[in-house]
């Protein structure tokens, strides 16, 4: 089986990475494309007391099991199936049963830190950075964490001030320089999305 195509979509929390990914799937079809979220590869903290888990900095590169992520992306790219961990944000631990994925010809990997590790960047055929204003990102994160992850408004704002914003400036924003394509305002930038789709189709034609 020919090697698959890996598209990395980075950007700050709440920048619109997921919408960009969904636009790609809508156009190319879910039978060919799989979306992998870096959030699934947070390190399992089940060995720690629950109150200690919540104190961890989840916006630092060390919070991600990068070795597992790289190994599983390599498997998917070479036509093998993987057992992807499912991360439970309520308890900061992996769920007992993993998710069986693969194979797919196009893998879209999205996450705030996916362009930080040079080994992962080297595997990517296209590197994308979604660039969105910080106030919009904060509002989106606030709505998501309260609605989907059972967080309080105060806890979200405290985390943003103490870790999300400083880690974004230190680790996420600098990776913009590695991107092949920078998309302002994420999935709402239809011109940039169309250019990205055109490049993906060109890569697919080259592989035929």
**Mean per-residue pLDDT, 120-126:** 96
Instruction: Write the CB contacts of 171 (distance below 8 Å, at least 6 apart in sequence).
Output: 59, 60, 61, 113, 116
Please say whether the dihedral angle defined by the alpha carbons of residues 36, 42, 45 and 49, taken in this order, is positive or negative.
negative
Q: What are 60-114's pLDDT values in tens digits?
A: 999 999 999 999 999 999 999 999 999 998 888 899 999 999 888 899 999 999 9
CB atoms near residue 29 (< 10 Å):
10
Q: CA–CA separation, 184 vs 204, rounded Å?
A: 25
CB atoms near residue 91 (< 10 Å):
13
Q: For residue 20, which of 184, 136, 146 has the smallest C-alpha distance?
A: 184
pLDDT for 208 equals 65
Please say whether the dihedral angle defined by the alpha carbons of residues 98, 116, 128 and 145, taken in this order, is positive or negative.
positive
Fold topology of 5-203: Rossmann fold (3.40.50)
pTM score, two decimals? 0.88
Assess whether pLDDT exceeds 80 at residue 207: no
Query: In the chain, what are the domain boundaries?
Result: 5-203
């Amino acid at each position: 089986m020919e090697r698959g195509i890996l598209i990395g979509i980075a950007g700050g929390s709440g920048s619109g990475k997921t919408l960009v990914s969904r636009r790609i799937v809508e156009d190319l079809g879910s039978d060919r494309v799989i979306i992998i979220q870096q959030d699934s590869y947070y390190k399992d903290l089940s060995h720690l007391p629950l109150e200690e888990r919540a104190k961890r900095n989840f916006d630092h590169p060390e919070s991600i099991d990068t070795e597992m992520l790289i190994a599983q992306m390599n498997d998917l790219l070479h036509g093998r199936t993987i057992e992807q961990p499912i991360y439970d944000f309520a308890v900061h631990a992996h769920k007992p049963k993993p998710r069986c994925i693969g194979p797919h010809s196009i893998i879209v990997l999205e996450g705030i830190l996916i362009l930080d590790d040079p080994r992962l960047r080297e595997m990517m055929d296209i590197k994308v950075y979604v660039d969105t204003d910080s106030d919009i990102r904060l509002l989106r994160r606030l709505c998501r964490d309260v609605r989907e992850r059972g967080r309080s408004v105060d806890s979200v704002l405290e985390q943003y001030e103490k870790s999300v914003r400083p880690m974004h400036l230190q680790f996420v924003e600098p990776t913009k320089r590695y991107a092949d394509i920078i998309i302002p305002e994420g999935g709402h930038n239809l011109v940039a999305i169309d250019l990205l789709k055109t490049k993906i189709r060109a890569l697919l034609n080259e592989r035929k």
